Each structure stands twice: as C-alpha cells, then as structure tokens.
C-alpha cells in the first residue's frame, strides 16, 4: 500500500534561502531560472512559509504566474507563535499567504514549528479544527505540521491529533543521533504513527555543504566528483516513507548540482552507507554551534542582535582557526545587515524559547563576545 506523497520525486525546492540581489531583495529572475530547471527535471514540490520574508511573493512571480496550477505542489505554513495575540491574527496569516502566492489553494499546509511553548498557541487558538475547516472548503489538500522538539512531545501531539496527515522533521546525517535534535528518534515516532515525513534541513543550514576538512576528505575519498551537499541530500532521501527532501537552494549552481544526482536517485549503496557512517563519527569529534540560520531568534530579540550571523562566524573560527576571517564574516553577517553584536545581549532568554535547535544562545553569545570580538 502506498503513502501520501509517494509519487512525488524526492527533492523539494525549499524557498527559505532564495538568491538575493545587492541590498537583500530576492532575485526573482534567478529564481525563475531555478524554477524552470527544477520543473524541467520532473520535480514538483515547493515549500515556502508566511514567515519567510519575500518568499511567497517571489514564488508567485517565479512559479504560480508562469505555470499551470496542476503542474506543481505548493506548501506554506502558519506560525501562530509569531506576534499573534488572537485566533483572528493567526488565521489572517492564511489569507495573507493566499494573496501573496496567488495559488488559489495549498497542496500542503503546515502548522509551523510545533514544540515546547510554541504548541500552546495552536492549542489555545484551536487551529487544529480551523485547518480542517479550510481543508473542507478545498483551500487545503493535505494538513500536517513541522516540528522541532523531543520525540516524547511528538508522540503526544500525534496521539492527540491523528488527523494530521504528515510531519515535517529536521533530518540529516549530522543530527541523526544528536541528543539535542534526535532526528532518528523523531523519525521513528512519525513512522510508528503511520505518518509520511517531509525532511527539512538535510544539509543543516548549509553546514554539510562545506563540512570540516576531515569529514570532506572521507567523502571525497569515496566519490571524488560528488559534492558534499549531495551526500547529505542522498542520506535523507534514502529513508523509508519520505514524501520529499527540502533543499534550500540559493543559486542556479546549487540547483544544477542537486538535479545532477537526484534526477535518477534510487537509494544509497552499502558502500555509500559505510562512508556516511565514517563521516558521522568524524563530525561527533567537532564541537560546533548547531545553528541552521532559521532566524526565529531574530524575530523575538529585543536588542536586534545578529545571533545566527554571530554563530556562523564562531563556527568558522572553530572549523578553520582564522580569527581574522571569522571577524570579517561577523562584520558582514551582523553589522552590515543592520544587526547588533553579541556584546549587546541582555540575557532575556526570549531567543531560547523559540530556537528549534535548543541552543543555549545566551551562553554561546557570551563565548562569541569573549573569543571572537575581543
């Protein structure tokens, strides 16, 4: 017996990190080129969200206005925990998404980033019933949720809401056994409940596209011509019950690379699995901040600190040992993007309440201030 989305090809276009022009606006023309390549190769799944600044509008221009609606699946999400004080404010996100995408309906609609204190918003506003109403109206075809928390909490949610049709989970080979993320355990809970899985963060916010040199050597020894990112995508796509694997591609080159190995992907060989096992063991030896640059923290930080930029720079220092280069990165990613430095942190803790990766952000910002900025 098949499962929901089984016929969808196993590479999805994640629209969180679209190409940008100078000044930060989304490069719609390059996005159009990427959309064309993606569809021409037989792939059809696009993933955006109300919370992804400019993304819904860009995909309207690059996809919805240029292709017949039945030629693709479009997913978006409701983040009721972002500045919503009433059910009406939360529901308004759906109307905004419909208007911004021009899609008419959504093939997949997700309650966004459930887990910890965020789940309460969806419960208090009874968005569980509301999405079913939208489905009955034909405005949503399939309803599910994305999730960043423990397998125990996922068990509770799926037990309480068996009507959910799918789950979107963070799964990659670095986090498969990571005790902070528990990718494998969450995946197993979803499958136990019979839910197919959409995979997000397969390349861990780009970190597995440029892994540490010791990890890259393992991958290159096995397949000299394959990109590091390809290993991460293939790992995720090889799992059972997967609807698709989202890749947040930021330029045409990344799109072409992904299409080159996913067009005819048919699972990992035993040799490839052994190579990834070695890479996982090597990664465990390196203490990185597990930030994926989702920037949910930035939406709630009262001091407007460039948290993800600070962490990217700090990880660069850990991986490559160049303080000058890491400081250059911090300057670009933080100050040049209008954000404040780690030294401005007032330790309020609001960022940690929304962090999907459960990072001790206040402690890590203190390390950035001490080790990178001094």
Q: Where are the domains of the chain?
A: 11-283, 296-372
Structure tokens at 222: 């096995």
Strand partners, 197: 167, 242
CA distance 225 to 228: 10
Whether the pTM exceeds 0.95: the reply is: no
**pLDDT score, position 329:** 84
Specify the pLDDT at position 179.
74
Both tokens of 22, joined, read 């100078």
The answer to whether 209 and 229 have CB atoms below 8 angstroms apart is yes
Residue 137 exposed, middle or buried by CB count within 10 Å (0-12, 13-18, 19+): exposed
Low-confidence ranges of the chain (pLDDT < 70): 180, 320
Three-class SS of 321-360: CCHHHHHHHHHHHCHHHCCECHHHCCCCCHHHHHCCCCCC
**Collapsing DSSP states into helix, strand and coil, what is residue 221?**
helix
**Which pLDDT value is given to residue 112?**
96
Q: State the pLDDT at residue 205.
A: 79
User: Contact 169/197 with Cβ under 8 angstroms?
Assistant: yes
List the CATH code of the domain at 11-283.
3.20.20.100
Return the pLDDT at 354: 94
**pLDDT number for residue 337:** 85
């Amino acid at each position: 017996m098949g499962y929901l989305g089984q016929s969808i090809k196993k590479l999805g276009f994640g629209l969180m990190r679209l190409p940008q022009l100078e000044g930060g606006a989304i490069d719609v023309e390059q996005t159009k080129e990427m959309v064309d390549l993606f569809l021409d190769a037989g792939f059809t799944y696009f993933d955006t969200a109300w919370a992804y600044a400019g993304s819904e509008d860009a995909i309207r221009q690059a996809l919805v206005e240029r292709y017949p609606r039945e030629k693709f699946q479009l997913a978006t999400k409701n983040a009721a925990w972002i500045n919503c004080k009433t059910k009406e404010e939360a529901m308004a996100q759906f109307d905004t998404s419909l208007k911004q995408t021009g899609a008419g309906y959504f093939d997949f609609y997700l309650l966004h980033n459930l887990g910890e204190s965020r789940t309460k918003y969806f419960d208090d506003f009874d968005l569980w019933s509301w999405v079913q109403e939208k489905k009955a109206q034909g405005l949503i075809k399939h309803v599910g949720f994305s999730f960043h928390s423990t397998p125990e909490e996922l068990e509770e949610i799926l037990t309480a809401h068996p009507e959910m049709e799918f789950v979107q989970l963070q799964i990659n080979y670095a986090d498969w056994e990571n005790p902070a993320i528990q990718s494998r355990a969450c995946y197993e809970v979803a499958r136990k409940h019979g839910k197919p899985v959409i995979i997000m963060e397969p390349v861990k916010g780009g970190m597995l596209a440029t892994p540490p040199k010791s990890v890259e050597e393992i991958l290159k020894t096995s397949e000299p011509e394959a990109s590091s990112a390809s290993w991460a995508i293939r790992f995720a796509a090889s799992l059972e019950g997967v609807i698709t694997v989202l890749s947040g591609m930021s330029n045409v080159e990344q799109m072409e690379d992904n299409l080159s190995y996913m067009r005819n992907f048919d699972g990992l060989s035993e040799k490839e699995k052994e190579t990834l096992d070695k890479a996982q063991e090597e990664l465990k030896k390196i203490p990185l901040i597990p930030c994926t640059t989702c920037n949910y923290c930035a939406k709630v930080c009262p001091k407007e600190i460039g948290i993800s930029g600070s962490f990217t720079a700090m990880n660069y220092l850990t991986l490559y040992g160049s303080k000058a280069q890491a400081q250059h990165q911090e300057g670009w990613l933080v100050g040049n993007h209008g954000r404040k430095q780690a030294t401005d942190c007032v330790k309020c803790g609001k960022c940690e309440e929304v962090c999907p990766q459960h990072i001790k952000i206040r402690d890590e910002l203190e390390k950035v201030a001490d080790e990178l900025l001094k």
